[in-house]
Amino acid sequence: MARLAQTAGLTDIQEEILATVRTFVDKEIIPHAQTLEHGDTYPADIVEGMKEMGLFGLTIPEEYGGLGESLLTYALVVEQIARGWMSVSGVINTHFIVAHMLKQHGTPEQKEKYLPRMAAGEVRGSFSMSEPELGSDVAAIRTRAVKGDSGYTINGQKMWLTNGGTSNLTAVLVKTDEGADKPHQNLTTFLVEKPEGYGEVLPGLTIPGKIDKMGYKGVDTTEMVFDGFEIAADQILGGVSGQGFRHMMDGVEVGRVNVAARACGIAIRSFELAIDYAQQRKTFGKAIAEHQAIAFKLAEMATKVEAAHLMMVNAARLKDSGQRNDVEAGMAKLIASEYCAEVTQEAFRIHGGYGYSKEYEIERLMREAPFLLIGEGTSEIQKTIISRGLLREYQSRG
């Protein structure tokens, strides 16, 4: 992209990483995305390529074998990858969130145990808050861990685990009996090690199978059923129970920047396809781009791409500077996902009937965009977070 979605003030290393990823996306992802997605095929070769580039350890500190890069670098990489195929960014996203939670909240032993193998892509992370009866209302979690003499026993059902079958380390948020008044203070994150695959993968732990989705194919999304699953107390993230909600919300905050970045990537690709098609397709004796109605669509799409990119970059930089970014990440996620849905829709319209054909990439992008309105918190939840933050900040003195 020559002009849109540029980022000022990047270091030489960031520029170099992005150039490498962009080339990888153009050569190894875009040409295969349609076929893999239509076949619901896991992109094993692409994942191997990402491992070789060190992308699984992009944000993991150098002392644990990672590249020690910032959230901004990660978000810009994700934007590029989603421009190629969103499912590939889904493979690394949950991994990145779990690595972030371990880096920020893990005990020294947990960091030592997992981060080096996560950086190498040997341990791959997924995370689980949602259950069949709740998603937005995280504090209402029912899956329960009960403390016994030699550890905890977990019972309950989790839902919507991205990479649930292909990961081997899942950060799971469950209810524990802390006796606290507020429900969210009775939640604990467990680090569940498990083999990859489906069925009863460990005694008392079943991954039933892939959920058949509208889009976002190739990457697996699963349930996770606990039935008397035994786990040691030292698998509690950070070693202390009752802190899980805080840990997960920190993970989700960086996850929201990541979802915003994905939305930017899909919107960029939709714009690229639309502006190309609009110059080739002729109606009434001229290219459709020469009809003002279409030219204006392109102008509006590009403006939305630019605005979303800048807000996403701002939210990432804020977090990198050590400040809380709940409001800014919420705003970036809200605007980027809503604009992404609008931009893909306009690109689809510009393609006329061909946009409805599975031969054209825009058909896939149209099915990918809606997920971003839901994942890591719906638009309504982002508005709740943003307004709460603003009301805290702008308290009335009257």
Ligand X SMILES: Cc1cc2nc3c(=O)[nH]c(=O)nc-3n(C[C@H](O)[C@H](O)[C@H](O)COP(=O)(O)OP(=O)(O)OC[C@H]3O[C@@H](n4cnc5c(N)ncnc54)[C@H](O)[C@@H]3O)c2cc1C
Residues catalogued as catalytic: 376
**Smallest distance, Å, CB 16 to ligand X?**
31
| DSSP notation for 28-71 | IIHHHHHHHHHTT---HHHHHHHHHTTGGGTTS-GGGTS----H
Kindly write out the interface string for residues 149-188 of this chain, putting x where it contacts ligand X by CB under 6 A and - elsewhere: -----------xxx--------------------------
Judged by CB under 6 A, the chain residues 92 through 121 that form the site for ligand X are 94
Q: Decide whether 67 or 334 has the Cβ nearer to ligand X.
A: 334
Q: What's the rounded Cα separation, in Å, for the pair 175 and 184?
A: 9
Q: What's the rounded Cα separation, in Å, for the pair 88 and 36?
A: 11
Q: Nearest to residue 137, comparing CAs of 129, 125, 149? A: 129
Phi, psi dihedral angles at 18 (to 5 degrees): -65, -40
Kindly write out the interface string for residues 202-231 of this chain, putting x where it contacts ligand X by CB under 6 A and - elsewhere: -----------x--x----x----------
Q: Which stretch binds ligand X (CB under 6 A): 70-78, 99-107, 130-138, 268-276?
A: 130-138
**Smallest distance, Å, CB 342 to ligand X?**
18
Q: State the number of binding residues for ligand X (CB under 6 A).
A: 21
114, 229, 277, 371: which one contacts ligand X (CB under 6 A)? 371
Q: Decide whether 221 or 325 has the Cβ nearer to ligand X.
A: 221
134 counts as binding ligand X under rule CB under 6 A:
yes
Residues 6 or more apart whose Cβ sits within 8 Å of residue 370: 214, 215, 341
Q: What's the rounded Cα separation, in Å, for the pair 4 and 244?
A: 39
* Residue in the shown chain whose Cβ atom is closest to ligand X: 135
CA dihedral of residues 323, 21, 343, 380 (deg, nearest 10): -30
Q: Which stretch binds ligand X (CB under 6 A): 75-83, 123-131, 228-236, 350-358?
A: 123-131
Residue located via tokens 């079958």: 165
- Point out which residues pair with 146 in neighbouring strands: 153
Contacts with ligand X by CB under 6 A lie at: 94, 127-130, 134-136, 160-162, 213, 216, 221, 371, 374-375, 377-378, 380-381
